[in-house]
């Protein structure tokens, strides 16, 4: 069988040896490598983890230049488990639920990676204007799931301003609705629901996701 010269077969013995040594230093054994070769599902899971970590590191290293970072969202966890990654303001614990913020049916058991970016404005601005501005640049407002995943993936999130995900909203009576906002208070990540009424003040940042 002809070897693929563009893939891992192109690695030299020195590179392969260094890789094996690195794995051994982290506790890998010959038995583990044998399982990697004999079990396709195990090999697939290991490869997926390696690719995911490489993508996140590559994006993180360029984030200061592009302002864009990757978010990994595992929808199989469900919103209750995802909320464990940050503290929920007491009054909002019963409001932030799968009933008020249901998981999209097509993503129920999915794990996806999206590209995100902050949008900020030097003036008060309406949600409609934020939607339009994001759309112009090829983004859409983030959902509550993407916001929670951002908090999990980036525990060193900015602490100077609240981050709103206006792609999710919970409508109540009289036309009012609440949207999720992530804040850091006393060095703790907290999620709360904010009444979306009128314009947003300058202090807010909006998480956008590339379409």
Per-residue pLDDT at 62 exceeds 50:
no
Domain-embedded: residue 51: yes
41 and 71 inside one domain: no
194: number of Cβ within 10 Å: 16
The answer to whether residues 56 and 105 belong to one domain is no
Res 16: pLDDT: 78
Query: Rounded to an integer, what distance in angstroms lies between the CA atom of residue 52 and that of residue 85?
Result: 20
Q: Please state the φ and ψ torsions of residue 160, each to the nearest 5 degrees.
A: -90, -10
Same domain membership, residue 72 and residue 35: no
Is residue 197 within 8 A of residue 179, CB to CB? The reply is no
Q: What percent of the chain has pLDDT over 90?
A: 27
Residue 3 maps to a domain: no
- 68-92 residues labelled b (16+ CB within 10 A) or e (exposed): ebbbbbebebebeebbebbbbeeeb
32 inside domain: yes
Rg of the chain on CA atoms, in Å: 21
Which pLDDT value is given to residue 3?
Answer: 45
Residue 45: its pLDDT value, please?
Answer: 75
Q: How many domains does the chain have?
A: 2
Domain range for 185: 67-210
Q: Does residue 200 fall inside a structural domain?
A: yes
CATH of the domain at 104: 3.10.100
Q: Are 123 and 192 found together in one domain?
A: yes
Over residues 73-104, the pLDDT tens digits come to 999 888 888 887 776 665 677 788 888 898 88
From 22, 42, 65, give the residue that closes a domain: 65
Whether 85 is covered by a domain: the verdict is yes
Residues 58 and 126 in one domain: no
Measured on CA atoms in the order 30, 34, 39, 43, is the torsion positive or negative?
Answer: positive
178-200 pLDDT, tens digit each: 999 988 777 677 888 888 878 99
Do 45 and 129 belong to one domain? no
* Domain membership flag for residue 185: yes
Residues 43 and 141 placed together within one structural domain of the fold: no
């Amino acid at each position: 069988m002809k070897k693929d010269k563009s893939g891992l077969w192109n690695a030299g013995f020195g590179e392969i040896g260094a890789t094996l040594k690195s794995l051994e230093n982290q506790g890998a054994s010959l038995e583990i490598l044998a399982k990697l070769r004999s079990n396709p599902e195990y090999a697939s899971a290991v490869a997926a983890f390696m690719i995911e970590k490489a993508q996140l590191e590559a994006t993180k290293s360029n984030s200061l230049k592009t302002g864009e970072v990757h978010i990994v969202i595992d929808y199989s966890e469900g919103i209750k488990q995802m909320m464990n990654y940050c503290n929920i303001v007491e009054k909002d614990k019963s409001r932030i639920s799968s009933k008020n913020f249901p998981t999209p049916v097509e993503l129920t058991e999915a794990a996806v990676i999206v590209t995100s970016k902050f949008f900020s404005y030097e003036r008060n601005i309406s949600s409609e204007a934020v939607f339009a501005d994001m759309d112009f640049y090829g983004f859409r407002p983030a959902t509550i799931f993407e916001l929670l995943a951002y908090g999990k993936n980036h525990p060193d999130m900015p602490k100077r301003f609240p981050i709103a995900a206006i792609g999710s909203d919970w409508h109540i009576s009289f036309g009012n609705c609440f949207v999720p906002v992530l804040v850091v208070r006393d060095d703790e990540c907290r999620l709360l629901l904010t009444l979306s009424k009128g314009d947003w003040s300058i202090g807010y940042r909006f998480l956008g996701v590339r379409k």
